A and B are shown apart, each in its own frame.
Chain A
Amino acid sequence: MKSEMDRREFIKASVMAGAVAAFGLFSPAAGFGKGGKEMMTIKAKPVTSGVAEGEALVSRMPISFTGGMDPSTGVIREPGHDLEGQSVAGKILVFPNGKGSTTGCWQYYAAYKRGVAPVGIINVMAEGVVVVGAIIAHTPMVQQMERNPLECIKTGDHVKIDADKGLVFVTPAS
């Protein structure tokens, strides 16, 4: 499947340490955001609409919402996952892409209704299950940022997603 292949290639390319080189055209606009730290503004492709902001939670691993996350607490429970034991509730969740059962959308929706879903999602490359979850739960979501989100966003950073304009604002925590 061509698009699937492209997607995997893209993810591979972006996850590589030299991601900035892969996006040679990148030049984030600098400004000052919350707390006086230098804020980056980075373009991204909108997946859904709306605006969200909060603290970033960054994973370098794909996430499955069926089995991988407790829909009552938002806690990642996949053994060996780099977010194992951490809750996605209220976070701007940054991760490469979704994986696993297509029923993940139902689990994500249940988490949203129980108030433990992320407030916003940034994927390196979006995949169907997460996309549909974000659509039905009205979660602002973007993908394909001009700079690899796994490189330029750290857990704890303050992040604002404007999925209407296709912009991500990142204020480093330190």
Chain B
Amino acid sequence: MQLTEHERGMLSGKYGQGVKQAMEILTAYGDCNNAGRMIPITSVHIAGNYPVLLDEGIEWLENIAAGGTKVKVLTTVNPEMYDFEQADALDVPTFYRERQKKIDDAFKSMGITLNYTCHHYLVGNVPRFGDHIAWASSGSQVFANSIIGARSNRDGDHVAIAAAITGVIPEWGLHITENRRGDVLVDLGKLDLKKYGNTEYKTLGWLFGRLLGAKNPVVANLPPDIDMENVKGIMYTMTVTGGAGLVHFVGITPEAPTVEAAFHGKSPRHPDIVITQKEVDKAFKEISSAKHDKLDLVIFGCPHCTIRDVQHIVDLLDGRKVHKDTRFWICTSRWVKTLSERMGLLEKLQASGGHMVCDTAPCAGPYWYLKKQGVQVMAINSAKANYYAHGLCGMETWFGSTEACVESAISGKWEGPR
């Protein structure tokens, strides 16, 4: 790689050991990916939850932070394992609190913004079209590429942290215009999308990942008035079953005003993929993993609930109480919680027996301590959270619509389709 004088200085240790370590990671990573040079970035988002870092990861973080290492660009953090302000109420073990404090301290010393939300782009970390960024969170990385038109690869946390410390990243993959060209056309013309709700779009995302792997798909025939939450449903789910970084939603993605533009005026590299309802129905049946109907937990917020999501859930509850044996969690950012309180939604939720939980999320592993409290079977309206709760934490999971999840919380057993 060609490095500038300043970059060579960073690599030599002139600006401290943390910067040196960061530059070593980036140059090796860049060389391996045949990057020619480094390019400046404007935004970073990282994960920092304990089940991922483990004790050794905390040591690594403390080591790179030592000596006053600071981030150079706005850097935000994904959710952690628990709500810091409700740790006692939720009976979070001291073990996890101690470790989280270490992670917090290291992040704080580096100047990282401790927002602990996966909706960081709704609370201030918003890149512009064409910006180069490093977001190590698969769903929001696809959002940045496909909806904002900012440019991020599927970087891991270490690369993203190194990028935050140096302010640069190797130029390869989706940072390069040519590589953002669509690979394959996905035709949804055979589906009756007028009947599709959020659950159906998430199921479609599950299927997309399976069928597309790491290709850049070009998705035609989405309804022009499709709700953004449904577009997000596709993106956040497809990264679970596949490795895509950019989806061209024709008419929505800034780089895809037309199918031709998405393909950069060239022919697709692969034959078109036509999706049938039969395949979508089959995919839906793959997602849930539960064997038992009795629910210990109904949880929302993957990605973190927006204020509209909160309003919708509270409206569906309509003053009814959730079952006494079923916990009811809405996971969101602290900002949305403040708004919910101001709008009277929090009071209504609590009157129904529900909790609003911040700083953590259904993908961040609260199950490690919830399981010890007897929580085993859960329901959620996110196929992504469903997969991770089952695969990483061994939970029994039901996947269905927000409506099905709310009704199930009231009866205390799964009421949705299976």
Give the interface of A toward B (CB within 8 A).
1-5, 8, 47-48, 66-67, 71, 102-107, 109-110, 112-114, 126, 128-129, 131-132, 135-136, 143
**CB pair B156 A126 closer than 8 Å:** no
9 shortest interchain CB distances as A-B pairs: A102-B156, A113-B56, A110-B56, A110-B54, A103-B52, A106-B57, A2-B179, A1-B179, A135-B28
- Report how far A105 CA is from B155 CA in the complex, Å: 11
Cross-chain pair count, CB within 8 angstroms: 91
Question: CB-nearest residue of chain A relative to B61?
Answer: A106
Which residue of B25, B56, B156, B159 contacts A103 across the interface (Cβ within 8 Å)? B156
| Chain B residues, CB < 8 A from A103 | 47, 52, 156-157
Contact B154 A102, beta carbon cutoff 8 Å: yes
Residues of B near A5 (CB, < 8 A) are 183, 215, 269
Q: What is the bound-complex CA distance between A8 and B270, given in angstroms? A: 14
Docked Cα-Cα span, A106 to B29, in Å, equals 16
| Complex contacts, B213 vs chain A, CB 8 Å | 8
Chain A residue, CB-CB nearest to B246? A1
A106-B32 contact given A3-B173, A67-B391, CB 8 Å threshold: no
Answer whether A135 and B391 are a contact pair too, CB < 8 Å, given A104-B156, A106-B57: no
Report A-chain residues with C-beta under 8 Å of the C-beta of B392.
67
Q: Name the residue on A nearest B156 (C-beta).
A: A102
Name A114's contact: one of B28, B56, B156, B269 (CB within 8 Å). B56
CA distance A106 to B54 in the complex (A): 8
Chain B 156-174 interface residues, beta-carbon cutoff 8 Å to A:
156-159, 172-174
Give the residue of B25, B31, B55, B214 whose beta carbon is less than 8 angstroms from that of A136.
B25
Q: CB-CB < 8 A to B54: which residues of A?
A: 71, 106-107, 110
Tell me the dominant secondary structure on chain A's binding face: helix
Tell me the smallest distance from the CB of A140 to a CB of chain B, in Å. 12
Tell whether B408 is near chain A: CB-to-CB under 8 Å.
Answer: no
Q: CB distance A128 to B159 under 8 Å?
A: yes
Closest A residue to B33 by CB, please name it.
A3
Contact between A135 and B25, CB atoms less than 8 A apart: yes
In the complex, chain B residues 10-62 whose Cβ is within 8 Å of any chain A Cβ: 24-25, 28-29, 31-34, 47, 52-57, 59-60
Q: How far is the CB of B58 from chain A (nearest CB, A)?
A: 10
Tell me the count of chain B residues lying within 8 A, CB to CB, of chain A: 43
Which of these, A3, A8, A66, contacts B34 with CB under 8 Å? A3
Residues of chain B from 127 to 160 with CB closer than 8 A to chain A in the complex: 136, 138, 153-159
Please determine whether B33 and A129 come into contact, CB atoms closer than 8 angstroms: no
Q: How far is the CB of B264 from chain A (nearest CB, A)?
A: 12
Interface hits, B236-290 → A, CB 8 Å = 245-246, 269
B216 interface residue per 8 A CB criterion: yes
Taking CB atoms and an 8 Å cut-off, the chain B residues in 329-368 that contact chain A are none
Which residues of B in the span 172-230 have a Cβ within 8 Å of any Cβ on A? Answer: 172-174, 176, 178-180, 183, 213-216
B144, chain A: closest CB distance, angstroms: 15
- CB of B57 within 8 A of CB of A110, answer yes
Map CB proximity to A onto B48-86 as digits: 1 under 8 Å, 0 otherwise: 000011111101100000000000000000000000000
Q: Which of A67, A104, A106 has the most CB of B within 10 A?
A: A106
> Can you give 15 A-B contacts (C-beta < 8 A)?
A1-B173, A1-B180, A2-B176, A3-B179, A47-B28, A47-B32, A102-B156, A105-B156, A105-B157, A106-B53, A106-B56, A126-B32, A128-B159, A131-B29, A132-B29
Task: Known pairs A106-B54, A131-B29, A135-B28; list 7 more (Cβ under 8 Å).
Answer: A3-B34, A3-B179, A67-B392, A105-B158, A107-B54, A135-B24, A136-B158
The answer to whether A3 touches B172 (Cβ under 8 A) is yes
- For the complex, give the distance between the alpha carbons of A132 and B161 in Å: 12
Expressed in whole angstroms, the minimum distance between the Cβ of B116 and any Cβ of chain A is: 17
- B154 and A128 contacting across the interface, CB-CB below 8 Å: yes
CA distance in complex: A113, B54 (Å):
11
Shortest Cβ distance from A102 into B: residue:
B156
Please measure, in the bound complex, the distance between the C-alpha atom of A151 and the C-alpha atom of B244, giving whole angstroms. Answer: 30
Q: What residues of A have a CB within 8 angstroms of the CB of B155 in the complex? A: 102, 128
Q: Is the CB of B214 within 8 A of A1?
A: yes
> CB-CB < 8 A to A67: which residues of B?
391-392
